């Protein structure tokens, strides 16, 4: 089929070259007129017709013939090779669509609603709760970076290690899904209308000129049509109520889940744009966050204290309770200077933005552990002071008697 398409295209090109040769001996004005007449008679759609395969792809990893091995690496089931982007040479758009389809396997949306993941005791655990917020883009719940999942392994690209470690240490877990913001549906086709019987048979000059302009526009769009010969169906997006953006989603989950959780100590890990969404949460629920959250680990956060117009009290709280592991050539946990009124910044031990969460994994849980121990010390000291005060009061009353 492809060879016949190539032959057809070659034939069309040959016809065009022969016709151009025929007008080569004419005057410049005549050449221009002849070429215009020739191009007007060429069916552009036929020249570029179906020069790439249809965008139909498998729906599961098994149908793609890929699977994750025992090391969490995506490998071809027959060859054992990593995922190959350029499956077909010179078909970049098709390869890109295939790549996107692989990332969307098993994803089904039947109505404009979103979802999150909760561990079985997420709302009832009285001790510790960990909230995970990913960055923006194509990643979905439980993912840090699709590129790492496909090209490296599950440990570096997903939140699975964070979830497993947290549950081992007695945390309950809530996994947010801030990029599931809308349902995409096909636009209804526009019904064609019949001309009015009263319309004159001969078009007015103005209408004819508008029609000529429209035809010219179509010809000018030839290049775009060549780049995208398969016209995709027009679609529209239906925003999910109260979850139409990452910021809205984080606020919604806070109000309906985190704020109602029984956990005494709440911890948050937010990557990239997730850090910006957390700061927006602070802007809207500052008092609640300050009373419930013990510590926040940011990884290459995209937030801006100035652009997001944070209050002085929010800035002070973040300096005391947050740490941002940023991409840097410096060794892991090396303190980095910041000229902004921001939270402390340390190196994540990598210059790759998408790897910052995984590279700072151990440091983040050590940071949380130190906060928990400090909290215990403060609570023990407060309890000791209360007992001492009560004992002194009782002794004083006994002496009075």
CB 359 within 8 Å of CB 349: yes
Q: Among 245, 246, 272, 360, which one carries the catalytic annotation? A: 272
315 half-sphere exposure, CB direction, 13 A CA radius: 12
- Spatial distance between the Cα atoms of 35 and 247, rounded to a whole number of angstroms: 56
C-alpha to C-alpha distance for 398 and 137, rounded to whole angstroms = 69
φ, ψ of residue 242 to 5 degrees: the values are 65, 10
How far is residue 285's CA from residue 334's CA, in Å, rounded to a whole number? 32
What contacts 24+ positions apart, CB below 8 Å, involve 94-99? 94/52, 94/53, 94/55, 97/55, 97/57, 98/57, 99/150
- Is residue 286 within 8 A of residue 311, CB to CB? The reply is yes
Tell me the C-alpha distance between 24 and 401, whole Å. 125
Q: Which helix (H) or strand (E) holds 371?
A: helix 361-400
Angle at Cα 270 formed by Cα 266 and Cα 274, nearest 5°?
A: 125
Radius of gyration of the chain (CA): 31
Give the whole-angstrom CA distance, residue 283 versus residue 265.
Answer: 21
Q: Is 272 tagged catalytic?
A: yes
- Other beta carbons within 10 Å of 356: 26
Assign 3-class secondary structure to 142-165. CECCHHHHHHCCHHHHECHHHHHH
- The angle subtended at Cα 291 by Cα 289 and Cα 293, nearest 5°, is 55
Residues marked as catalytic:
272
């Amino acid at each position: 089929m492809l060879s016949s398409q190539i032959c057809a295209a070659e034939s069309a090109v040959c016809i065009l070259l022969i016709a151009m040769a025929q007008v080569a001996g004419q005057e410049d004005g005549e050449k221009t007129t002849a070429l215009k007449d020739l191009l007007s008679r060429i069916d552009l759609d036929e020249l570029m017709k179906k020069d790439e395969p249809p965008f139909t792809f498998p729906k599961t990893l098994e149908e793609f013939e890929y699977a994750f091995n025992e090391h969490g690496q995506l490998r071809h089931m027959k060859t054992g090779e990593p995922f190959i982007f350029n499956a077909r040479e010179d078909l970049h758009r098709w390869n890109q669509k295939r790549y996107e389809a692989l990332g969307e396997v098993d994803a089904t949306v039947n109505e404009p609603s979103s979802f999150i993941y909760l561990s079985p005791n997420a709302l009832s655990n009285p001790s510790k709760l960990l909230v995970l917020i990913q960055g923006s883009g194509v990643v979905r719940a439980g993912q840090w970076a699709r590129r790492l999942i496909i090209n490296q392994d599950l440990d570096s690209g997903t939140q699975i290690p964070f979830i497993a470690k947290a549950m081992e240490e007695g945390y309950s877990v809530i996994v947010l899904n801030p990029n599931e913001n809308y349902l995409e549906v096909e636009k209804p086709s526009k019904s064609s209308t019949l001309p009015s019987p009263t319309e004159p048979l001969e078009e007015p000059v103005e209408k004819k000129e508008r029609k000529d302009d429209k035809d010219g526009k179509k010809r000018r769009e030839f290049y775009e049509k060549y780049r995208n010969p398969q016209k995709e169906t027009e679609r529209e997006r239906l925003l999910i109520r109260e979850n139409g953006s990452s910021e809205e989603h984080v606020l919604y989950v806070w109000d309906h889940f985190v704020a109602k959780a029984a956990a005494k100590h709440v911890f948050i890990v937010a990557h990239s744009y997730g850090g910006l969404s957390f700061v927006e949460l602070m802007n809207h629920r500052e008092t609640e966050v300050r009373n419930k959250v013990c510590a926040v680990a940011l990884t290459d956060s995209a937030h801006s204290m100035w652009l997001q117009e944070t209050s002085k009290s929010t800035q002070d709280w973040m300096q005391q309770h947050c740490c941002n592991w940023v991409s840097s050539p410096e060794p892991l946990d090396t303190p980095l200077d910041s000229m902004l009124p921001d939270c402390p910044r340390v190196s994540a031990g990598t210059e790759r933005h998408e790897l910052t969460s995984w590279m700072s994994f151990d440091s983040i849980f050590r940071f949380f552990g130190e906060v928990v121990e400090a909290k215990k010390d403060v609570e023990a000291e407060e309890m000791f002071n209360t007992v001492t005060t009560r004992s002194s009061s009782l002794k004083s009353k006994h002496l009075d008697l």
